[in-house]
């Protein structure tokens, strides 16, 4: 009874502006936290997410984790009520209703750190499965699907997964999802025979920008929409003129040749190794007949259906195939290739992909494609290669002391890092608005932060 009275008095004090209000962080912050795998990692905490810690006095074992605040439009729940009570189990969630200035928050707390979306989704599903039949289900007034989406958008992210979450890139797939706003530049080479010595000759660079087509897909050459294409994209007609065999990777020489299919997404796949001699090229070198073998040994642009739930995730699994097996995905097997997981059951929602196979393209002879993102540096828009870090752009564009970054870990390096970020201001988009990244409060690790589209940097 006394506990509930204290809760009520704290809530009243908050509502009248005296004290007792919960506060949510309003900036991005960098934190070091141990994940479920027991390894320390650097995390980027978005606004409304933070670290919590407490002690279990019975056994003196510390407990800590993340929390994510979600604003509630309507709530009839008592303030400071927790479900379940006590410290949540490792890998599980606990919900708490807390008052904030002018609003009510649902604070979802975890013990430990979630390493991926799947583990957080599973924890939320398990929490809601129990909570909906108890008091939270009666008074929260929430749509569990909307809350799940909000948790995904607001969860802390490790530095190492920023590119995977935003672009699908990791070491296993070696592929990038070309999101709207991404600039793509390609530099090709041409085969030149110089007697006994054979060499490649560069042919320059060509760039384009991925734009949304309004149907959850992208288009790399917008004029292709009203023109309805200027190249034959009927895959069944792609035949080798000499052997008559199907060509599963179509060579193109310009962005204008790429077709537009509503609701389709482009994936850029990198090979394990680029060919370094003409004899290793997957394109015909006269007088050798065109066999089109080893077409997976050059960067590929892969066009896939994006409107089917789970199609992009399956495609990213497919493109993780070895270079000599990627043609199974580009060819007749499509989304049922072994690298994708094999056959799709007729009852599976992904079964529609059987009739919507991927289309694979190669740019020129050995076209190497580089994705770029747009950031703002001191008020001017700038294209930087995808993967550029804060430290990298300071070294290249900022004057001393911001550009003088020591690369050793000692007291002098820490001092140099602090001097480098002092006076630097970084803004990052959060739910449609630019939000500050807390640089003065971070250590040298903040220099490894990967820049994302829309970031604004000044000093």
The helix (run of H) or strand (run of E) holding residue 53 is strand 49-56
Q: Between 117-131 and 144-154, two packed helices, what is the crossing angle to 10 degrees?
A: 150
Give the pLDDT of residue 390: 92
Is the pLDDT at 4 greater than 90, yes or no? no
Apex 371 CA angle, 367 and 372, nearest 5: 135
Helix, strand, coil % (nearest 5) of the chain?
Answer: 25, 30, 40
Euclidean distance between the first and the last CA atom of the chain, given in angstroms as a whole number: 55
Of 173-177, 189-193, 229-233, 270-274, the range with the lowest mean pLDDT is 189-193
Confidence band of 6 (pLDDT split at 50, 70, 90): very low
Q: What percent of the chain has pLDDT over 70?
A: 78
pLDDT greater at residue 134 or residue 237 = 134
What DSSP character marks residue 398? P
Is the pLDDT at 9 greater than 60, yes or no? no
- pLDDT (average), residues 51-72: 70
Query: 208 with 220: CB under 8 angstroms?
Result: yes
Query: 303 with 361: CB under 8 angstroms?
Result: yes
Strands (E), 162-299: 175-177, 183-194, 197-209, 211-212, 218-219, 249-252, 264-269
Is the pLDDT at 7 greater than 50, yes or no? no
Of 175-184, 231-240, 346-355, the range with the lowest mean pLDDT is 231-240
pLDDT 10s digits, 151-188:
999 999 988 889 999 999 877 788 999 999 999 999 88
Confidence band of 140 (pLDDT split at 50, 70, 90): confident
Q: Taking all residues of the chain, what is their mean pLDDT, rounded to a whole number?
A: 82
Determine the 3-state secondary structure of 91 from DSSP: coil
**Residue partners of 294: CB distance under 8 A and separation at least 6:** 275, 280, 282, 323, 324
Is the pLDDT at 336 greater than 70, yes or no? yes
- pLDDT (average), residues 40-51: 88
- pLDDT (average), residues 41-66: 73
Write out the two tokens for 247: 């060509």
Is the pLDDT at 141 greater than 50, yes or no? yes
pLDDT greater at residue 71 or residue 57 = 71
Query: Which letter, b or e, does each residue of 331-356 get, where b requires 16 or more Cβ atoms within 10 Å of its Cβ?
Result: bebbbbbebbeeebeeeeebeebeeb
pLDDT 10s digits, 257-295:
898 889 999 999 999 887 776 666 665 544 444 445 567
What DSSP character marks residue 308? S
pLDDT 10s digits, 377-407:
999 999 999 999 998 898 888 777 766 665 5
Is the pLDDT at 409 greater than 70, yes or no? no
**Residue 309, CA atoms < 13 Å, CB-side half-sphere:** 2
- Map tokens 């537009």 to a residue: 260
Give the pLDDT of residue 289: 46
pLDDT greater at residue 159 or residue 203 = 159
Confidence band of 18 (pLDDT split at 50, 70, 90): very low
Is the pLDDT at 214 greater than 60, yes or no? yes
- CA dist 430 to 26, 52, 64, 283, 387, Å? 10, 22, 25, 45, 19
**Residue partners of 322: CB distance under 8 A and separation at least 6:** 272, 296
- pLDDT (average), residues 79-87: 88
Longest dimension (CA), the chain: 94
Give the pLDDT of residue 377: 94
Confidence band of 193 (pLDDT split at 50, 70, 90): low
Rounded to an integer, what distance in angstroms lies between the CA atom of residue 144 and that of residue 142?
Answer: 6
pLDDT 10s digits, 296-314:
788 999 999 999 999 999 9
Facing residues of 110 across strands?
Answer: 93
CA quadruple 157, 161, 165, 169: dihedral, nearest 10 = 170
Give the pLDDT of residue 235: 66
Rounded to an integer, what distance in angstroms lies between the CA atom of residue 238 and that of residue 253?
Answer: 16
Kindly report the pTM of this predicted structure: 0.82
Q: Which of 22, 23, 44, 24 is nearest to 32 (CA)?
A: 44
Give the pLDDT of residue 91: 81
Rounded to an integer, what distance in angstroms lies between the CA atom of residue 351 and that of residue 336?
Answer: 9
């Amino acid at each position: 009874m006394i506990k509930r009275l204290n809760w009520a008095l704290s809530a009243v004090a908050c509502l009248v502006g005296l004290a007792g209000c919960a506060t949510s962080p309003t900036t991005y912050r960098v934190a070091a936290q141990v994940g479920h795998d027991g390894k320390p990692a650097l995390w980027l905490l978005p606004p409304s997410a933070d670290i919590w810690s407490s002690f279990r006095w019975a056994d003196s074992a510390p407990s800590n984790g993340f929390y994510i605040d979600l604003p509630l439009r309507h709530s009839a729940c008592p303030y400071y009520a927790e479900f379940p009570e006590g410290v949540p189990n490792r890998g599980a969630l606990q919900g708490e209703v807390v008052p904030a200035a002018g609003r009510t928050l649902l604070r979802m707390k975890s013990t430990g750190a979630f390493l991926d979306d799947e583990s957080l989704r599973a924890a939320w599903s398990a929490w809601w499965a129990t909570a909906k039949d108890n008091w939270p289900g009666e008074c929260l007034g929430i749509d569990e699907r909307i809350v799940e989406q909000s948790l995904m958008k607001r969860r802390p992210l490790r530095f190492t997964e920023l590119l995977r979450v935003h672009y699908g890139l990791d070491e296993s797939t070696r592929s990038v999802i070309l999101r709207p706003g991404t600039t793509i530049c390609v530099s090709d080479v041409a085969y030149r025979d110089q007697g006994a010595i054979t060499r490649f000759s560069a042919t320059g660079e060509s760039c384009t920008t991925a734009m949304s087509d309004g149907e959850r897909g992208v288009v790399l050459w917008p004029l292709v929409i009203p023109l309805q294409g200027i190249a034959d994209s009927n895959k069944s007609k792609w035949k080798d003129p000499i052997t008559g065999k199907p060509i599963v990777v179509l060579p193109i020489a310009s962005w204008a040749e790429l077709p537009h299919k509503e609701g389709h997404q482009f994936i850029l796949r990198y090979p394990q190794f680029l060919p370094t001699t003409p004899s290793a090229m997957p394109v015909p070198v006269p007088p050798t007949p065109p066999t089109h073998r080893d077409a997976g040994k050059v960067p590929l642009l892969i066009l896939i259906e994006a409107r089917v739930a789970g199609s992009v995730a399956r495609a990213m699994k497919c493109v993780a195939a070895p270079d000599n097996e990627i043609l199974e995905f580009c060819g007749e097997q499509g989304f049922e290739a072994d690298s994708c997981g094999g056959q799709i059951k007729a009852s599976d929602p992904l079964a529609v992909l059987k009739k919507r196979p991927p289309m694979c393209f190669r740019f020129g002879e050995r076209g190497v494609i580089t994705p770029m993102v747009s950031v703002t540096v001191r008020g001017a828009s700038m294209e930087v290669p995808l993967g550029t870090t804060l430290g990298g752009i300071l070294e290249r564009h900022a004057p001393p002391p911001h550009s003088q970054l020591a690369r050793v870990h000692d007291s002098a390096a820490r001092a140099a890092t602090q001097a480098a970020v002092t006076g630097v201001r970084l803004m990052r988009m959060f739910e449609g608005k630019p939000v500050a990244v807390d640089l003065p409060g971070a250590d040298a690790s903040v220099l490894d932060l990967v820049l994302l589209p829309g970031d604004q940097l000044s000093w």
